[in-house]
Amino acid sequence: MVALMMRISTAGRYALRLMAFLASQPGGKPVALRTVSERQHIPLKYLESIVSVLVREGLMTSSRGKMGGYCLSRSPQNYTVYEILRAAEGDMAPVSCLVKDATPCPMESECTTLPVWKGLDRVMREYLEGITLDRIAHGPQGQFSFRDGI
């Protein structure tokens, strides 16, 4: 039997680290990817692919030139961990039957486990939507409790 586990991918983890790093920079000035790569120990090529997604999703902006780089498109307190991970990961549903626009499950009306998955989806979303980027970038170090996220 193969066990399936829901995990945030490396792209999702790096996207959150990138955004938190940008949020921690004074003045919101553009930061070169090379700087992020060196300070966050993230391969530059990997960062380039993540940044293209985040820019396309409107979470970051880019500027060219000698003083160019990447910066957040809005204030850090106006981002949630959920939206950053969703941009990097795609759908965050814990099971395929809850994925937006998924083919309807023929068992949906009689599935006794569906409420479990819907509950898990709700709890994860509420927790991740309750943590702002500002809190990660400037908040206390350590763990977040469930109460911190909602």
Full residue range of the structural domain in which residue 112 is found = 10-149
pLDDT tens readout for residues 99-132: 888 788 888 889 999 999 999 999 999 999 999 9
CA angle 57, 100, 116 (to 5 degrees): 120
Instruction: Report pTM.
Output: 0.85
Percent of the chain with pLDDT over 90: 63
**C-alpha 29: how far from chain center:** 21
Is the CB of residue 75 less than 8 Å from the CB of residue 121?
no
**Residue 4 falls inside a structural domain:** no
CATH, residue 104: 1.10.10.10
**Residue 1 falls inside a structural domain:** no
Query: What pLDDT is recorded for position 29?
Result: 86
Overall domain count for the chain: 1
